Amino acid sequence: MGAPAEEPRACLVAHVREALARDRRVNELHVDVTVAGKRVFLTGEVTTEERKRAVADVVRELLPEYEVHNETSVPRLDEPGEAEELA
């Protein structure tokens, strides 16, 4: 198999998703990957800011010749409200 640039786009996306699922820093199955030319766009939610950075790091290491756009988000957890009293 040739370099990643020669792989069909679907195979490249699958390769990136597998790397994100297997890498210990990430272990993430819910990141959407889109490839457009020499750019990779990452979207979806991850649990922490650290994991968000790791997602981009893994893809940059895997595809150093691609421009990585990490648009993943970390859901904001609101402060708990007042305690509910049960009658």
What is the per-residue pLDDT for 1? 46
Question: What is d(CA 20, CA 60) in angstroms, rounded to the nearest whole number?
Answer: 11
Provide the residue count of the chain.
87
What is the per-residue pLDDT for 62? 97
Across the range 10-28, mean pLDDT stands at 94
Kind of pairing between the strands at 31-36 and 39-44: antiparallel
Residue pair 29/57 in contact (Cβ under 8 Å)? The answer is no
pLDDT tens for residues 30-86? 899 999 999 999 999 999 999 999 999 999 999 999 999 999 999 887 666 677 777
What is the per-residue pLDDT for 6? 52
Q: How far is CA 57 from the centre of its chain?
A: 10
Please say if the pLDDT value at position 20 is more than 70.
yes
Instruction: For residue 30, give both structure tokens.
Output: 């819910």
Q: What is the pTM of this model?
A: 0.77
- Residue 59's H or E segment, with its range, is helix 49-62
Q: Which residues pair with 73 in a beta bridge?
A: 45
